[in-house]
Amino acid sequence: MEKNRIFLCVLFLGLFFMSCNKDKIIYADATLVDYDDFKEVVELKAETIAGFDSLVLAPTHLCVYDSVLVTINKRTNKRIHVLNVNTKKKIAEHISVGQGPGEMLLPRFVGNNGCKILISDLIKSTVAEYNMGDFFKPDEPLLMKSISLQKPISGEVRLLKDGFIGDVSRNTSFLFYEFNRKGEIVDSIGRYPEANWDVTDVEKNNMYSFAFTTNQQDRLAVCYNWTDLIDIYDKEGHLLNRIHGPRYFASHFEEFNDGKVISSSRVKGKTRDAYFSPVNVGDEFWVLFSGKSESEDGYNILAEQIFVFGWDGTPRRILNLDKGVFAFTVNEKMKKIYGISDSPDFHILSFSY
């Protein structure tokens, strides 16, 4: 009799938790991740790098190499600024806006390959290669190589094994082109998730917008902006893990046709910000998490949490930031995080961890 009571109790609890989780299942093949799955929560306090305020102007992206911080800026004649975080001095300004040799229209960081730094142009679908030592000097660096990608991309480019992976998410069939080092197409990989309600191809383009990073070798993490979902692929394009959580939401977009344009727009009260600005940090990737909705009072784009995952998708740590940022980079050697805030004006924050 006692065994029967225990069995019924366990059965009841199992059915209870299954019922609770049923409402969270938007993606049938996803692993649900909760806040409690992260083994550690760390509180971090921001320091403003005051000396950079007048130098960085309006940074949108950044990366760090030892004591050198490199920012991509808007509204500047030269898009990239090279700064020394120890002396708070500007070292150089590089890459003019334009379509000529050595110029770019919309530069983005690709990664570093030994002593080389690689930068892509989203508009021209090219990857430029510079000597890192030359790039960190005042003089204009010599363009070592310019690689034209065989097919246009719609987003960023990253290093992956012996080539590049490029975001083509405006294509509703797949997410990425894989290129070799010559810019030739090797494969197309990545597929849109399937939600538990009907989504048109036009709605997919917005609902599943994403940012991504790689470990530069054999892993690719796709972090979705409007649903708290992360997909992890291997170098052959196989989906290794799909992580949903910790809020279990998916934003809703509605297709419209105004006679000139077919697109989709957010459904008021049914959208939330999710993951942004993922960064490769050795055997982990770090990503900003928001969870905010525009319908909430005091909404802004700044995120106050960084989630840390292993490259197998295992939740490891949550870093709570006392001041929000919209992009960040990590100096693993110095145990420093550098983030960009635009409140009240553009400036760079640092966090020691």
pLDDT in tens, 126-145: 999 999 999 999 999 999 99
Within 10 angstroms of residue 90's Cβ, the number of other Cβ atoms is: 17
Alpha carbon distances (Å) from 60 to 63, 122, 329, 336: 11, 14, 12, 19
Q: Give the whole-angstrom CA distance, residue 298 versus residue 333.
A: 36
- Label residue 16 by pLDDT band (50, 70, 90): very low
Give yes or no for a contact between 241 and 234, defined as CB atoms under 8 angstroms apart. no
CA of residue 258 relative to chain centroid, distance: 32
Average of pLDDT values for 149-167? Answer: 95
The DSSP call for residue 104 is B
Residue 272 reports pLDDT greater than 70: yes
Average of pLDDT values for 302-317? Answer: 98
Percent of the chain with pLDDT strictly greater than 90? 76
Cβ neighbours of residue 188 closer than 8 Å, sequence gap 6 or more: 168, 173, 174, 176, 177, 178
Residue 295 reports pLDDT greater than 60: yes
Structure token pair of residue 140: 């204009």
pLDDT score of 5: 52
pLDDT score of 22: 53
ω into 344 cis (within 30 of 0):
yes
Q: Give the whole-angstrom CA distance, residue 341 versus residue 353.
A: 18
Q: Tell me the pLDDT tens digit for each residue of 176-208.
A: 999 999 999 999 999 999 888 888 989 988 899
Give yes or no for a contact between 125 and 183, defined as CB atoms under 8 angstroms apart. no
Q: Which of 144, 190, 136, 135 is nearest to 167 (CA)?
A: 190
